[in-house]
Chains A and B, each alone.
Chain A
Amino acid sequence: MSTVQQTLLLTQWQFRRQATMLPLLVVVQVFLAIATILGFGLVIGDPPPEQALYLATGAPTITLVMVGLVMTPQMLSQSRTEGSLDWMRTLPVPRGSFLVSDLLVWTLIALPGMVLGIVTGVLRFDVDLSPAPWLVPAALLVSLTAAAVGYGMASLLKPTLAMLMTQVLVFVILLFTPVSFPADRMPGWLQTAHEWFPFEPMAQLIRSGLAHDTFSMPGRSLVVLLAWCAASVAGATWALRRRA
């Protein structure tokens, strides 16, 4: 049995475990993605075309980051609390497979919301997108990084604390990261901080992937994002391998 087959079987297990909640989860994802677009539209009013494009291309990033940083740690904390994670860890499965299978499940759940979010943005703000050929791998990179950060957080913190952190993150990411608005609206110190956080690079990557005629991806941001991705995957794998 190959590692890939094992990982896919594990994914099937995780996916079916969510089966009863699945329709609801997808609906919530779709709702959140659309609400982000329409909600920000209400806050801002009728935005000028450039700002509208910002909003429409920022929403998918919000969806991916929410899934990775909020849903994944919540799922992991839940399985730690109910004791199923400890049992799963007794199975002869490579430790990294747990991370990959959870990630696959949540990416699949987030996908409809992400796509519908983009469609809503295009319709609501009447913007033209120019998708780059590397949009899909870019979305996967963002998804992987967000989920690995969330995974590491949920593995290292106590379940209750991890749940609380996710609540704080929702608020911070929605309002204080340059995803749905340009970075220059924020105070200088926060801009500097965001040069080292993964959120702005995530937004830039998705934005330039969706409208690469208008936006470009700075090389530095890509390096920051890849560094976060490598570090968080390594951290999450270490956490899964760790012995008490």
Chain B
Amino acid sequence: MGATTVLTVRGLRKRYRGRGGVQANDGIDLEVAAGQVVGLLGHNGAGKTTLVNHVVGLVRPDAGTIHLDGVDAVAQPAEARRRTCIQAQANVPITGLTPRRAIELVGRIRGAERTAVRARTDELLDALDLRPWADTPAEKVSGGIARLTAFAMTVVTPGRLVVLDEPTNDVDPVRRRLLWGQIRALADEGRAVLLVTHNVREAERVVDRLAVLDRGRVLADDTPAGLTAHLQGTLTVEADLSPGAVEAGWRWHPAVREVSGARGREVGTVGAADAAEVVGWAQGEVAAHRLERYALTPASLEDVYVDLVGHEHAPQGETAGVAA
């Protein structure tokens, strides 16, 4: 890798007492280097938020070490906070303020000079196309604009480590692209970005590395290509069944391995060698009105993720709503 490591987590453990004794982190090892966007994937309760709260000293670990930009974050939480900025999963309420005012105030509370904060705020308002809303009272802006404001509040005076928890929730597709551009830019400036999400499909396109967290452990940690390597030569088949097809005893082509099925939407995998035959078969199924549509795509990270953490924790798709 060669790049400077900004965040190093080793053997991090935390059990919450009182709440039925949840083992939130169970021996986590993780590294985030300068210039990297590292995705942290996991379902609700996988231990993502606890991990992040450890880094900024809101949670004290039972065991393990956290080093952040040369500082022992467990022993010196105030120093760790100076080097980290966090966008929380829930929007920070800013009623009474306007997006511009909120961004500028946080920038200055984080210690930057007034003129520098103004310039950076303007830059972010333009980059995220927020200018039309910049001076609108917060109680009148939509959820997506509030989400982008929270992002700008986080990165107006960015630390060495930037932690973003579901930054794209509620954001419209056009501004979503602008947002990903800004996230990439933070890494290109030499910051370490930790992207907490369960939106696997979106994360795939921006991250340099992905760590999959489940029940407080890291199940996998690799580049997106590395994680999907064993699935190369495999394609995902999706099929929307016609009404009544399930009752009529519809079955996949024998070459397809069934992965999941719900409400008439079936998903399976097929080897590349058999793909042409399956397409021919599916075309026939459509002609016979047993299928409404079908699609073949390269095996995705989502498949890997579902394989790793099991079907009961299937991640939310691109239309993911607000997470608890």
Contacts and interface: CB of A to CB of B under 8 A. Distances in A.
Contact of B109 (A6, A83, A244): A6
B86 A87 contact: yes
B110 interface: yes
Interface in A80-121: 82-84, 86-94
Contacts of B88: 83, 86-87, 90
Nearest to B83: A92
Contacts of B184: none
Nearest to B88: A87
Interface in A194-244: 243-244
A9 interface: yes
Interface stretch (B89-97, B229-237, B242-250, B279-287): B89-97
Given A90-B86, A244-B53, A17 B96 contact: yes
Interface in B73-126: 77-78, 81-82, 84-86, 88, 90, 92-97, 101, 105-106, 108-111
Nearest to B91: A83
A1 interface: yes
B192 interface: no
A55 B213 CA distance: 63
Contacts of B92: 83-84, 87-88
A191 interface: no
A12 B97 CA distance: 10
Interface residues of B, number: 31
Contacts of A92: 78, 81-82, 110-111
A67 interface: no
Contacts of A88: 92
Contacts of A244: 16, 53, 58-60
A210 to B, nearest CB: 34
Interface string B133-176: 00001010000000000000000000000000000000000000
A94 to B, nearest CB: 8
Nearest to B50: A244
A129 B12 CA distance: 63
A168 B24 CA distance: 37
B190 interface: no
Nearest to B55: A90
Contact of A243 (B59, B106, B109, B110): B59
A19 interface: yes
Contacts of A89: 56, 58
B11 interface: no
B271 interface: no
Range for the number of chain A residues in contact with chain B:
20 to 34
A174 B81 CA distance: 43
Contacts of A84: 92-93
Nearest to B104: A9
Between B90, B109, B111, the greatest number of chain A beta carbons within 10 A of the residue's beta carbon is seen for B109
B150 to A, nearest CB: 9
B101 to A, nearest CB: 7
A91 B96 contact: no
Contacts of B110: 91-92
A18 interface: yes
A83 B53 CA distance: 13
Contact of B97 (A17, A90, A94): A17
A82 B93 contact: yes
Given A83-B90, A91-B81, A92-B78, A243 B57 contact: yes
B60 to A, nearest CB: 4
Nearest to B113: A1
A243 B75 CA distance: 12
Nearest to B82: A92
A10 interface: yes
Interface string A54-93: 0000000000000000000000000000111011111111
Contacts of A90: 56, 58, 81, 84-86, 88
A124 interface: no
A12 B57 CA distance: 25
A217 to B, nearest CB: 39
Top 5 nearest A-B pairs by Cβ distance? A243-B60, A19-B96, A92-B82, A1-B111, A92-B81
Given A89-B58, A90-B88, 5 more contacts: A6-B111, A82-B90, A91-B81, A91-B109, A243-B58
Interface of A: 1, 6, 9-10, 12-13, 16-21, 82-84, 86-94, 243-244
6 contacts: A9-B105, A9-B108, A21-B96, A88-B92, A91-B110, A94-B78
